[in-house]
Amino acid sequence: MTPESVLQALQSDGNRGLDEHEVQLRRNVFGQNALTPKKGKNPFLLFLLQIHQPLVYLLIAAAVVTAFLQEWVDSSVIAGVVLLNAIIGFIQESHALHAIESLAKKMNIRATVLRNGQKRDIPAVELVPGDMVFLTSGDKVPADLVLIKIRELQIDESSLTGESAPVAKKLTALAAETVLADRLNMAYFSTLVTYGTATGVVVETGDRSEIGRINRMMVTATELETPLMLRISQFSQWLLWVILGCAALTFLIGWLRGESALSMFMASVALAVGAIPEGLPAALTITLAIGVSRMAKRHAIVRKLPAVETLGSTTVICTDKTGTLTQNQMTVKTVAVSGVIFQASGSGYEPEGCFFLDGESITLDNHPALGECLKAGLLCNEARLYKTDDGWQIDGDPTEGALLVSAHKAGFDHAEVNGNHPRLDTLPFEAQHQFMATLHQNRSLDEQHIYLKGSVESIVTRCSNAFDEQLHVIPLDLNAIHRLVELLAGQGLRIIAFARRNSPGDEQSVGHDDLKEGLTFIGIQAMLDPPRPEAAASIASCQAAGIRVKMITGDHPGTARAIAINLGLLRPGRFHRLFNIPVQGHVMSGSELAGIAQEKYVDIVDAYDIYARISPEQKLRLVEALQLKGNIVAMTGDGVNDAPALRQANIGVAMGKSGTDVAKEAAAIVLTDDNFSTIEAAVEEGRGVFDNLEKFIAWTLPTNLGEGLVIAAAVFADVALPITPVQILWINMSTAVLLGLMLAFEPKEPGLMLRKPRSPTQPIFTRRLTLRIVLVGLMLLTCAFGLFEWHLAHSQSLQAARTVAVNMFVIGQVFYLFNCRSLTNSLFMVGVWSNRWLIVGVLLMIFAQLLLTYWSPMNQLFGTAPIETFEWLIIVALGLVIYLLIELEKGLFKRFSE
């Protein structure tokens, strides 16, 4: 709609605004200009939800049963484990899910409005549709507006659309299907006015604004359980039924054979307590916490513990372009004058670098036209370059900042050049004219020069001739200029053209009439937001690890394509051949994406890797489509527009430097350096964490299986229990803390990032891992039960026989612990001494077993008795046999699987 038709539709007076009566009527209809907050979880309920897990229910049952048996120490220990895990989980989650609150806080701004013919400064929450709002540089737009009047208006919409540069607005009607980033006649709430002034009429407020729609998407976006949590939940439910079934079967068989119900109940309790992996929840939490610490050292702050492992299972990374893959600092890469193309080194805002011609470094002495082009960019400029503790920074437009940096690289000093060319007047940039002009007094030549910079089209139409390389005036070759522009634009470069005109007389001002014709074309500067130097290597590493990287940006398709080519993201593959997508052309725009039929949507989304001009709704839908293909999706983002997709993704990754509060609250991980290479490092750490968790599970479950089998064997054989419930608890808790948890400190194995991602549908227990657990469990059963019966047969006391059985379990676990340092490779490949904590844990465990065996208070508490030296030798020998057999199994499996 045109501005006039919008005012008519809203029944608003552009000269007087709304009156107070009309404002009140509209507020009654539309409500306040505020976002509806999402109701949060009650803290007590949030705490109880930490206990709502099958494995924790097993621990609670064990605590209740041991309390019933008056084993107060063991009951307290188990209850403490439950409480500690609940507290850790509560603290982690209590900091999450505040994204809507951050969105609501953004409404605490003020607006200048026209009411009853008078300007007023009011809180933005009081705005209603039809209000006339005034905008000026530095203002945050207080609602969604249709622009009525503008003067050189530019708005930074990066937090909403992902567009890296400020958008020049226009008063023009647009097609109804125009995507958000191209709606040049609109100003949207939460965006920032960087230049110029404007008047607009409010068309949407609160929940009906674009940011309000994002708010609603955040409410409906589903936070998915991580792969680890799903697997642990499935395993816990399966384990719960197995333990209950085995305990009931043991009770039934013993009772049918004539044993007393009480003794069979005690045996069933012993079996259940032995089968419950009490240390697993604590090991899970601590292993993840250690992963958090390691990731923090690599610039990744984890807000939700399970996110550590989720990154290790990631199959697709959807990443933003600006600031993540690129430096978010526009940099001049090419300067062309009179058909001669110069290349500039360096990147970002640091004024270090030089210019090259045909690979040779050059100076301005032999290339005066190059110097004139750079000087034009320096003088016709409103930006400021300065240095801070964090490096070089720009005040003003990023494009103008890049022009300052390029001039500094050539040796120009800003203050000196301005001193020799004082500015007399400025004709600001206007969207309808697409150029800026400044009038200067050249003190060296005692002349006045007008410098222009702007789009190529706006500059060349005003030029009658051009400078050659030595600043001699020559005819203007429009065809050569257009061929050059086409070449550079195809590389994704943003092109700025420059021209000059000598001003006659002593004029003190410059106007449009002075610039209609007769200018001399100087040249062009072409720039881009350069890729981060380490991004390409990180992307290649992810691809080698079987992770697909997709770039989703609000920027132009040409820019996205150029960056993707530089980073190695545009490569032919089976998806591109399948859908007949050209190698250099497979960039999907938001408008094209909107036209895809529903039945083809998921497959097409999976095929493309580069997306440009994407809206917030489309980002969310892209993530959902990838998840429907069975992918574990990591999504990066920094703007308000990214928040719904960050929450929907299996793992949301926000930018710490450039990210909005909304994005950080919606994410599970925050990158403190805004760098894609940190994501690759975090994936590596995540894989290491899952490896160590898998090692712990492979280590702890054979003990639980062996203990359960020992109890069941004793019941079936109608003999005394080889180990009592309290001894089982000692084995499980002490070894979990002193032995199992030390696996959390295992260093990452070589070749970790050369593996393919673990399938989301793959259970924790692979066939090989299950066979390993059964094999070790049976060996522990054979050794412990055999030694127990052998000692009883040689007239040993029941307490001493049980002590031998307990020590057999512990020493067997010690030797098997070294097997589990790598589930596939030999101990000597990972390094015997590479985990010093594990060695310390083993020594402490041996000391604890000596106390259990020989210290009288421990004998009384746990029903143990001292044993002879030769019995220790037998136990150690059997432990060594277990170690050697598992190493043999590893070698055979590796040999036959190759």
Torsion over CA: 745, 751, 757, 759 (sign): negative
Distances (CA, A) of 427 to 384, 436, 487, 501, 609: 18, 6, 30, 14, 43
**Distance of alpha carbon 507 from alpha carbon 513, whole angstroms:** 13
DSSP string spanning 376-391? HHHHS---EEEEETTE
Task: Please say if 642 is a catalytic residue.
Answer: no
Please enumerate in sequence order all residues whose Cβ is within 8 A of that of 711, keeping only pairs 6 or more positions apart, or say none.
250, 267, 270, 271, 274, 721, 722, 723
In the three-class reduction of DSSP (H, G, I as helix; E, B as strand; rest coil), residue 69 is classed as coil
As to burial, measured by CB atoms within 10 angstroms (0-12 exposed, 13-18 middle, 19+ buried), residue 600 is exposed
- Options 320, 397, 514, 638, the catalytic residue: 320
Q: Which helix (H) or strand (E) holds 633?
A: strand 633-637
Please enumerate in sequence order all residues whose Cβ is within 8 A of that of 181, keeping only pairs 6 or more positions apart, or say none.
157, 161, 162, 163, 167, 554, 590, 613, 615
114, 134 in Cβ contact below 8 A? yes
**Distance of alpha carbon 849 from alpha carbon 529, whole angstroms:** 63
In the chain, % helix, strand, coil (3-state, to 5) comes to: 50, 20, 30
**β 463-467/519-528 pair status:** parallel
31 phi and psi angles, rounded to 5 deg: 80, -175
**Distance of alpha carbon 729 from alpha carbon 852, whole angstroms:** 13
Return the structure tokens found at 635.
């999504």
Q: Could you list the beta-strand ranges (E) of 108-191.
A: 110-115, 118-123, 132-136, 144-156, 167-168, 186-187
Angle between helices 54-68 and 279-296 (to 10 degrees): 130
**Distance of alpha carbon 322 from alpha carbon 494, whole angstroms:** 15
Distances (CA, A) of 205 to 5, 486, 555: 19, 42, 26
Per this entry, what is the length of the chain? 898
58, 242 in Cβ contact below 8 A? no
**Which residues carry out catalysis?**
320
